[in-house]
Amino acid sequence: MNAKQSHLQHDHYLIKIGKGERLYKFYYFRPIAGRHYHFEYRILTKEKTDGMLEMVSYNFKIVSGVPQKSSVTRVPEISKEQLEDIVRNVRIKTNTGPDEFEELDLSGFSTIDEQIEFLKQQDRVDTMYIM
């Protein structure tokens, strides 16, 4: 295992995609008050082979040009209905308006390769993390 692989295995901010799994939906909450710092609250999900989801959420901001992640929460198993409830509750509790929220639905792509290509086109993936 090289240093890059070792770092990736211990990076709790990433969703690791196993054989037969695909990305599901990404959610970005961008409150107007935090735009100066490029602050976002992100929820990233993947669909596991049994149809259940795995979710990772965290705060993201840029400080002095350096991206920072904090308050990481990992949920290893959640249903699609539970995810919808969580997203709805976050939007309500944070009073997030339509112009402060983005949902990126990746469920329509049939393969992980198609999803990654779409994310690259949207400038939403750091290719150094793709192995």
| Rounded mean pLDDT, 26-46 | 88
Write the DSSP symbol of residue 14: S
Q: What is the mean pLDDT of the chain?
A: 85
Per domain, the residue ranges of the chain are: 3-129
Measure Cα distances from 82 to 54, 78, 109 in Å: 11, 6, 22
Top mean-pLDDT range of 2-16, 33-47, 50-64: 50-64
Tell me how far apart the terminal alpha carbons of the chain are, to the nearest angstrom: 12
- Per-residue pLDDT tens digits for 42-55: 999 999 999 999 99
- Strand ranges of the sheet holding 53-63, from the earlier edge strand across to the other edge: 66-78, 53-63, 40-47, 22-29, 101-105
- Per-residue pLDDT tens digits for 63-102: 888 888 899 899 999 999 999 999 999 999 888 899 999 9
The pLDDT score that the predictor gives to residue 47 is: 96
The pLDDT score that the predictor gives to residue 34 is: 74
Round to whole Å and give the CA distance between 2 and 83: 35
Binned at pLDDT 50, 70 and 90, residue 5 comes out as very low
Binned at pLDDT 50, 70 and 90, residue 125 comes out as confident
DSSP 27-92: EEE--GGGGGGT-EEEEEEEE-TTS-EEEEEEEEEEETTEEEEEEEEEEEEE-HHHHHHHHHHHHH
Say what the pTM is.
0.83
